[in-house]
Each structure stands twice: as structure tokens, then as C-alpha cells.
Structure 1
Amino acid sequence: MVYTELLRRVLLQVPRKFVPGRAARLAVSVSQPHQSHYSTKTLTSTNDNNDNSKRGKWVTLPPFTTTISGAALGKQLAGVSSGATAEMTAVKWVLRCCPELPRSLIQKLFRLRQVRRESSVMESSDNGDQVHAAKLKRVAAKDSLNSGDRIFLPNTVQELLPKKQDCPCTEEEMNFIQSLEFYKDPAIIAINKPPGMAVQGGIGIKRSLDELAAACLTYDYLESPRLVHRLDRDSSGILVMGRTQLSATVLHSIFRVKTFGASKDGLDNEKRILQRRYWALVIGSPRRPNGLISAPLGKVVVDNGKSDRITIVDNAQNMLSQHAITEYRVIGSSSHGYTWLELSPLTGRKHQLRVHCAEVLGTPIVGDYKYGWQAHKRWKELHSSDLGKSSNEKLFKEKSIPFGLDLENGSISEKQPRLHLHCKEMVLPDVSQALQNVQLSSDCDLSKLESLKLVAPLPLHMQRSWDILNS
């Protein structure tokens, strides 16, 4: 009810005059010539006595400067020819500067012609000379902006800003989430996701990493980290998030282009700009020590519609958009019938690695009861009484783990092992450096841009299984 009333006032009332001391506190992320793309600015209400008296009714956005298209830059980094700059419309600039305002509100403000742009016009002075004068004129959502243009919004939009809320996490929970972070720069944050924690919220999920990252990993930024890819709940390893809307858009484009390119063109000999390497412990051993899996995936409904699963699709022609490609190589094998594999997905399909291991290689991943339930029916745990507890295990035993996570158990020495699938290494473009280079010069050469190599250690249950099989 409160939101509805405020929305009605914004859309229907004439904007109120500026009241001293009631400055707008809208957070924005804009690029300035002398600053990085990740600096923060504050919108202010205009109340200049030398300007038109109506200026006091408006909230002023920062002047428009040449901006970067995150999607175009991502394609360029992924090897697809595309300009890094893009035309900026009025609505895009408002959305960029005001991420906390509802998109629906911004669109309605344009439809009701309540958004203004400062334009320069020629007027006659008292002595008859022609001088430039700044006037506020209505601007349409799709009107293009020129460098230096300023946009004005009704002053009443301040009332729709969300109030700052207390962090929903305890100090212990915040320290735990921050301890997962192992890399951070102005553009991205990388964490080593623990097994058992969902990346995104959904039915039956009370706490997810995207929500927790917004509460614990924002630091001095006014924008919250954004997801750019996914990991299964029971898997672990590298999870990369964009720290700003712009960097997240660049990363989204990189992941999307590489997935589409691999699906459409297959494997080429050129160095891939995005590389992901998973470690998995599987039951059995592949026929060949290394190879390339190219098999389309599709979703089927089971249990009378109660659940679904991913499987290999026979008619690939009808499932081109779900084509999935995985490289694999054997890292090591044991006399107990297990094999360590390194898996490199060229595409990013749901449950791709799990299905390719189980249905193509015939070696389901340890702890994957969804796709390897038959192999686990004959499961016999391995016991190693002479293997001492690791220092990491002792540390976890001394400290309780927040969010009800069990990070100590789940190795192959137990009756029900956890999923042994871990994103161990990721190589991707240095997005932060790319954004800085493009900001300095739109014609900069990104072909020599260095890559980031992220490496995340194995989770405790997989490290213990490694120690058991190598003891």
C-alpha cells in the first residue's frame, strides 16, 4: 500500500519544490574521464537561483559521457568483432544511473512525459546580443544523448528509494562468506563455493549465495555483486560475480558467446578466451585416457511430472540449441576402481558434466545419485584407519559452520559420499583492465590483454578422497 501511494504521487503529482537540506541520495555508477568505471557519485536536486525557477522541482543526473557497451565489449573479448561503444538513449542512461529505481517507474515517467533534458538554445539578451541559454525540454525514452547532456527526473522519486536495511547476516555468517572470497578487483569477485550451498534462491531454498553476496561482499560499492554463471548446489569451486552492472554485462556476454560459438562451430584450434577446468572423481574408467564428448542434451519429465532430468537426445537436429561439448582427460586412477578426471566444458548446459560422465563415458561421478544411482547401489565405502585427520578438518571441527553446512564429511570413506565435482581452475579475460583501457581510448587494442587465472583448492571431502586413493 505504501509503495502504491508513493508511486501514485510520483506519476500524478506535480514535482514539489526543492527543500533545503532534503538532498537526493540516489546512488549511481558512472564513468568520468579522471576516474575508473567503478567510482560512485550522488545525484543532487537542482536549485540554482540563476537558472529557471522550475529547476528546483527536479533531481539531476550526472552529465552523459561516452559510455561503454558491456555486451559489445564482452563479444570483442570473446573474439567476435564488435564495437565497444554504443548509442545511449535517455531511458538507458536513467536505468544506468538509477539502478535502485523500479524499471516500470522509469518507463512510466517517460510515457507520462515527466522526464526532461537540458538543451542549449539561442536567446536575445537585454542589449540585443544572441547568447546561449539552457532550457529544460521533454525528452522521449528513445531519444539519443549527446556528450554533456543532463537528464532531470521529478524530485518525488526520492520517496521511492529503498531504506537502508540492516545486514541480514550475523557476524559469524558474514565472516564465513567473506572467507570464501579468494580474488577481488574493481570488476569481479571470485569465491570458492562450498558444496551444499545454492547459488540462486528458489523453492525450498532459504539462503542463497546471490543474496548473501549482496549482504556480505558489496564492501564500499553501492551496487551488489551479480551472478554471471551457475554451479550446481552440490558441486563446489570457482564462482565469478560481476561487481557492477557493467562488468556483469561484459562477463555475461563472454560466457554466452563462448557457449554459442562452441555449440555452432564445434572445437577449433585457437586458444579459447574462456577456459573452465573441473576435477571429478568417477566410478570406473573411460576407455580412452582423453577425448572430446559432443552430445546434445534435453530435459525429460519423470515420476509422473514430479521431477525432471537431463539426458542425451537422439535426434540432435531438433535440439541444436542444447548441443553440449566437453573435453576430458584422465588425471589418475586407483586400484579401487575410481578415476580422477579433468573436465573442460566448452558449453554451459545444465548438468552437462554429470550427464556426459554417466551416459557417454559410462563413469558416473561419485556422489551423483541422480545420474549414477545404479552404480551407487553397489557402493562400498573405503576405510583408512591409518590416515590422520588433516589440519583443515580439525579447524572445521573446532568451529561450527554457518548455514547448516557440513563441510567435514562426504569422502569415499563414508557410506554416502558427497558429489565429487569441483570447478578448480578458470581462465578468463581481465575485465577490469579491459574496461580501463576502453575508457582511456575506444580504439585500444585488446588482443594483447592479459588473462586472469583463478585456482580454487579442493573442498575437504574431495581432498580427503584424494589422500585416501593416493595413500
Structure 2
Amino acid sequence: MVHAPFAKTINASAMGAKIAGKSHSKSFPTAAYETTALKWILKCCPGLPRSPVQKLFRLRQVRRESIAMEVSDDGCQVQKIKVKRLGAKDSLNVGDRILLPISVREIPEEKQEHHCTNEESNFIRSLELYKDPAIIVLNKPPGMPVQGGIGIKWSLDELAATWLCYDYSEPPRLVHRLDRDCSGILVMGRTQTSASILHSIFREESLGASKQDFDDEKRVLQKRYWALVIGSPRRPKGTISAPLQKVVVDDGKSDRITVFDNYKIMSSQHAITEYRVIKTSSHESTNFEYTAEVLGTPIVGDYKYGWQAHRRLQNLAESDLRKNLNKKASKGNMLPFGLDMEGGSISDKRLHLHLHCREMILPNVSKALQNPGSFSDDDLLKLKSLEIVAPLPSYMQKSWDILDS
């Protein structure tokens, strides 16, 4: 193994913000990284696997207990204990206490090792779309979760840590996520430094969306999804602007993102999506570059948001639709890890989700890290972009071909 090729003295968050054009500081401080809540828990509880701990943060089940000084009615200063939700990337202050749910006792302390066959390891490496010293980009298959957790046998982050390190001494790290049934471009940082820079870029672009700053010329990070949806919107193209919020469901076992009516709630995050209809069809489906819940055009295969629409599309009673959903794929079509990308097109009774992260444009972080001291603020803003395109999964391509015929 070799060590990471990039210096850890770089303030990765500051560099990422500069690349995104959101920071105006003159230099990169070389101070050590601040300790985040996730890092502190993993350091204090080395027996806990990383993925289940990350899931606790995603489900908003981690709390911070801190002491604050307040002035009482008689003018005296008194200590007050405050307990608030804590994010994985939140920095800690001296004296803070982290509170974990009792369910953490159920997490096995020793990480279960999964031994892949040659076919499985070759399949993981076949997902690579692009690789350089800083990042690795995969074409995520539908049906495979990105992150592990309780009850998940295989996850892409764990498999990447085993088979995609190559000669590096550290595993690639996720910088964003795709839903389990979604397919397409997934970017991972190959080192802690490059992952932190990409985290900062993704975060700054999300904040820019919240401020309705979505001019293509200003965006250094662009994502394009392709989707097949039921029905057609009133306009062939437009912009969706809606507040989104994570909602915990299934008694805390999972979560979902949904449109939230009260945009003033601080926990909601504003999302802006530009969509364009590529093609309409007499089959009551529409080819979309991207769509959203607010358009009233559910994505084919998304039974969570479009149950009734699928019943009408397939002309089935609710009981028959449930039977189709519970049918298992033919073993003859199965890929490694039990994945099925052949079945699930619009010609089949059991539909897979037709949502695919097709294209992504992002800054060439590797170029900036080759010699960071030589890059001025203007140089970072003018970094050449990487343009990544991910082929459609087989079942989506089949649906496209059917609609074209």
C-alpha cells in the first residue's frame, strides 16, 4: 500500500468553497481539521462499524448535550444544559457530550467480513466510469444500496473499500448518495483530502440552490437525470422550486425526502430542478431529463409516490399489483449480488425504477491538488471540468427502445 498522494495540511473545505466560487478568503489555512461528530464517535467507539453510525445520523437520532451560559431574571449568570440534534459533519466544542440511542447496543461490534467471488469483484470493477488520483466514478447499478446498515448485506461503499482501493492505503469515500433503486453516476473521493473538497463543492452548490442561484454559467457542479414518467406536465420545460425535508418512516427504520409545505421551517432544504421533456409517447409515459413529485408525473417504477398511477397504467387491481411487486426475478437474469438489470422494463409486469443519473459535470479536483500552492483564486475558478456520462441500465434502454418503435 502507498499513502495518499495529497498533503493533509490543505484546508479542504476552504479549497472546495473556492472552487465553487463561494469563498473570498485570500489563502488556505493549514491548521488541522476540526473534529466532527462522526469522527469522534468512531474514535471513542472503535468497535462500531461506520455505516450503522452514519445511518443514525441520517435518521437524526444523534443528539448533542452542551452547556450554555444564560442570564437569569435577577441578572445572574446560570448554566443551562441544551440538547439538540447533531449532524455527522457538525464540529464539536470542548465539553460537549454526544448522546446515542439505546438501539446502538444492537449494532454488532465486529464488522462482518464478506468474501467476494472473482465474478463479484470483477463486477464491482466493471462499474468504473472514470478514475484519477483524486476521484473514482461508478455507474451505480439499481437495487444496490450505497451505504450499509442493519439488515443490509452488501453496500457499494463497503465493496468499494475492499475492491477499489488499488494501491492506496485508504478506501474511497462517498461524497453524495443515490437511492437504492436509482442508478447512474456516483462520485467517490479516493482520499480524505479529495473527499473533503468534493463534500464542500456539493454542499456549496446545494446552498446556492437554496438561494435560487442556478445559472448554468455559475454552477461548477451539474447533474442531469433521465427518467421515464407516467403522464406529461403542462409545459415541455421549466424549473421546479420546492422545499424538501427528510421524514423518518417505518418506526425510525428508514427515511424519505418529500415536498414540505411550510418553507419557513429551518430543517427544510430548498431544491431547484430544471426539467425538459425529451419525448412523449402514446403509451401514457414521458421521457424526462428530470422530474419531481410536485409535477404530478410519477416516475415509472416508483410505487412509493405513484401507486395509484401504476394501477391505472397496468390496468390492475391493488392485490394483483402487489403480487407483481413480490415476484422474484428469474435467476437466469441475475447478476452478482442478486441484481437484475434485464427485467423491469415497461414490457414486464414488475417494473423497476426508471430514474438514472445520466450526466455529471464537476471540477477536476485532481488537477487542483497536484500543486495547490501554485493555484490562485482565479485559477481555481477556471479549473477545467470533467464530463461524465453513464450508460442506461439494460431495462431502461429496453423501455426507451420500445417507446421509439
TM-score, normalised to structure 1, is 0.62
With over 3 angstroms needed to count, the CA separation of the structure-2 counterparts of 1:229 and 1:307, relative to structure 1, is closer
- Corresponding position: 1:449 with 2:396: no
Aligned pairs for 1:198-347 (under 5 A) are 198-268=145-215, 270-300=217-247, 309-319=256-266, 321-343=268-290
Q: Which runs of 5+ in 2 are unaligned?
A: 47-111, 316-329
Q: Give 1:167 shift.
A: 7.7
- In structure 2, the partner of 1:194 is 141
CA contact (8 A) 2:359 2:389 kept: yes
Farther off after superposition, 362-371 or 266-275: 266-275
- In structure 1, the partner of 2:57 is none
Q: Give 1:266 shift.
A: 4.1
Aligned-pair identity in percent equals 64
CA contact (8 A) 2:160 2:172 kept: yes
With over 3 angstroms needed to count, the CA separation of the structure-2 counterparts of 1:228 and 1:302, relative to structure 1, is closer
Aligned pairs for 1:135-150 (under 5 A) are none
Q: Give 1:421 shift.
A: 0.1
- In structure 1, the partner of 2:321 is none
CA distance in 2, matches of 1:460, 1:313: 34
Q: Give 1:304 shift.
A: 7.8
- In structure 1, the partner of 2:309 is 375
Residue identity matched to 2:234: R
Q: Give 1:427 shift.
A: 0.1
Q: 1:180 aligns with which of 110, 118, 127?
A: 127
Tell me the alpha carbon deviations over residues 171-228 of structure 1, each in whole angstroms, 9 at most, x when there is no partner.
1111000000010000000010000000000232111000000011000111100000
CA contact (8 A) 1:200 1:210 kept: yes
Aligned pairs for 1:352-363 (under 5 A) are 356=292, 358=293, 360-363=294-297
Residue identity matched to 2:30: E
Q: 2:15 aligns with which of 64, 67, 73?
A: 73
CA distance in 1, matches of 2:175, 2:202: 8
CA contact (8 A) 1:313 1:319 kept: no
Tell me the alpha carbon deviations over residues 319-363 of structure 1, each in whole angstroms, 9 at most, x when there is no partner.
4642221110001111111111112xxxxxxxxx6xx2x3x1111
CA distance in 2, matches of 1:67, 1:306: 39
Tell me the alpha carbon deviations over residues 227-264 of structure 1, each in whole angstroms, 9 at most, x when there is no partner.
00000000100000000000000000000011012113
With over 3 angstroms needed to count, the CA separation of the structure-2 counterparts of 1:304 and 1:250, relative to structure 1, is closer
Q: Give 1:311 shift.
A: 3.1
CA contact (8 A) 1:437 1:444 kept: no
CA contact (8 A) 2:333 2:343 kept: no
Residue identity matched to 2:156: L
CA distance in 2, matches of 1:212, 1:324: 31
Q: 2:28 aligns with which of 80, 85, 94?
A: 85
With over 3 angstroms needed to count, the CA separation of the structure-2 counterparts of 1:84 and 1:467, relative to structure 1, is farther
- In structure 1, the partner of 2:392 is 458
With over 3 angstroms needed to count, the CA separation of the structure-2 counterparts of 1:84 and 1:331, relative to structure 1, is farther
Residue identity matched to 2:149: G
CA distance in 2, matches of 1:248, 1:166: 25
2:265 partner SS: helix
> Cα RMSD (Å) of the superposition?
3.1
CA distance in 2, matches of 1:321, 1:191: 29
CA distance in 2, matches of 1:308, 1:441: 41
Q: Give 1:447 shift.
A: 2.7
2:304 partner SS: coil
- In structure 2, the partner of 1:56 is none
CA contact (8 A) 1:298 1:319 kept: no
Q: Give 1:299 shift.
A: 4.3
Farther off after superposition, 401-410 or 306-315: 306-315
With over 3 angstroms needed to count, the CA separation of the structure-2 counterparts of 1:219 and 1:167, relative to structure 1, is farther
Q: Which runs of 5+ in 1 are unaligned?
A: 1-24, 30-35, 38-64, 107-164, 344-352, 382-395
Aligned pairs for 1:348-427 (under 5 A) are 356=292, 358=293, 360-380=294-314, 401-427=335-361
CA contact (8 A) 1:228 1:240 kept: yes
CA contact (8 A) 1:263 1:320 kept: no
TM-score, normalised to structure 2, is 0.72
Farther off after superposition, 444-453 or 168-177: 444-453
CA contact (8 A) 2:20 2:381 kept: no
CA distance in 1, matches of 2:114, 2:252: 39
Q: Give 1:428 shift.
A: 0.3
Aligned pairs for 1:91-130 (under 5 A) are 92=33, 103-104=43-44
Q: Which has more radius of gyration?
A: 1
CA contact (8 A) 1:228 1:251 kept: yes
CA distance in 2, matches of 1:449, 1:301: 39
Tell me the alpha carbon deviations over residues 290-311 of structure 1, each in whole angstroms, 9 at most, x when there is no partner.
0011111234566787876443
CA contact (8 A) 2:368 2:375 kept: no
2:397 partner SS: helix
CA distance in 1, matches of 2:370, 2:379: 12
Aligned pairs for 1:1-80 (under 5 A) are 28-29=3-4, 36-37=5-6, 67-80=9-22
CA distance in 1, matches of 2:173, 2:388: 18
